[in-house]
Each structure stands twice: as C-alpha cells, then as structure tokens.
Amino acid sequence: MRLILLGAPGAGKGTQAEIICEKLSIPAISTGNILRKAVKNGTEMGKKAKAFIDSGKLVPDEVIISIIKERLAEPDCARGFILDGVPRTVVQAEAIEKAGIEIDKVVDIEVPDDEIVKRLSGRRVCASCGASYHTVYKPSADPTKCDRCGGELIVRKDDEPSTVLERLAVYHEQTEPLKDFYAARGKLVVVEGQEQVADTTALVFKALEA
C-alpha cells in the first residue's frame, strides 16, 4: 500500500499515519518530522528550513523533493509507505510522479478551519521521537512524557495561534489544489475527520477498502 495522507495541519494525518503504519507494517514518512530533527541536530538543511517552519511557510520544493526521493529509496519502503505532510504542492506531486513513484491512494482528511485552530492549541509532540498527542483527544499517560519513548512532550512553536492561521492560509492556497490533482487520477478518497481518533481510523480503513 503506497498511501498519501492529505489534509490541513492538525487534521490528524500524523496520528492516523502512526496507526495505519502499525497495522500494515509499513513506514510512515513525515517530512515535518524529518525537518524538525534536522533543525534540532543543527544540520545545513535544518538551518535553511528553520525560518520557513517557524513562520508557517513551506520549505522550498527542491529541499523536500530531495528528502523524499532519498527516503523512499530506502529498503523499508519497498513494501509500501504512508506519506504524511508530503506532497504539499503540485510541484512536489509532479516530482513524485516523474520519479516513477507509484501511489495507490490519497486519503484526504477534512476538518473545518475553526476546529483545526481548537485542535492545534491542544497538540503536544514528543521532542525526541516526534509522536503526536492531544491534551483532550489523545492524552499521554503522563502529560509531560511520551508513552512511546519517555521523551519530553512540548508545544510546537508553529502551533502558536498566529502561525496556525498562516499555515492554514498556506494549506488552502498551495496544498488544497492537490485534491483536484489526485481526483483527476482517480486516487482521491475523502474522509470527514471525527472528534475521536478511532472513529476517523475506522472511516480511513473503510475508504481504503473501497
């Protein structure tokens, strides 16, 4: 299964990607997580990406395209993969296509903007492994620690309200056109994001079977 998860920031792509990848035993690849790790490690790529991420803008396409081509060439992707947060522009989608990377389905998780703003204010992420939590919808056992690795849970800098509005604007302008791009290729399935994580998961699996 080669899958793309599409949707606004905070729609639940990362959470669903974690669940699906475990059920299907395929890797979930989040360019956001890869970039945040690069920023944390102070690599050249991280230094270039930081200002874009902090201001809610997209990192330039050529950086993303090289990250994704390199990652998808790794052996663990041979049986399938889930792309979370990539592609985010038509240029990125075209590059994936041109590289001969086949995609089976694109699941678009729809959540209204006002709900996104509410959700992102409760999001917490593990500073160590990138796992995603929510204070109400997906709390960790200890509110300060990651259930998976024990890492510290933090609020992402780009989840601050002013940056969230910019990210939503960027989503509507640059990422939403991907719905038409993949609908035209017969690959798009749309799922309404639910309040409960498990309810969205059930809809995603139903959509994948269709």
Q: Which residues bind ligand AMP (CB under 6 A)?
A: 9, 30-32, 35, 52-53, 56-59, 64, 85-86, 88, 92, 158, 167
Nearer to ligand AMP, 118 or 206 (CB): 118
Q: C-beta of 37: minimal distance to ligand AMP in Å?
A: 11
Nearest position to ligand AMP, beta carbon: 32
Q: C-beta of 154: minimal distance to ligand AMP in Å?
A: 13
Check if 156 is active-site: yes
Check if 13 is active-site: yes
Q: Can you tell me the distance from the alpha carbon of 17 to that of 144, in angstroms, rounded to the nearest whole number?
A: 22
Closest CA to 120 of 137, 140, 142: 137
Check if 148 is active-site: no
Closest CA to 17 of 71, 83, 112: 83
C-alpha angle 186-96-90 in degrees, rounded to nearest 5: 70
Kindly give the residue spans of alpha helices, DSSP state H, lying in 60-160: 61-72, 90-98, 113-121
Residue count (the chain):
210
Check if 79 is active-site: no
Check if 71 is active-site: no
Q: Which positions are annotated as active-site residues?
A: 13, 88, 123, 156, 167
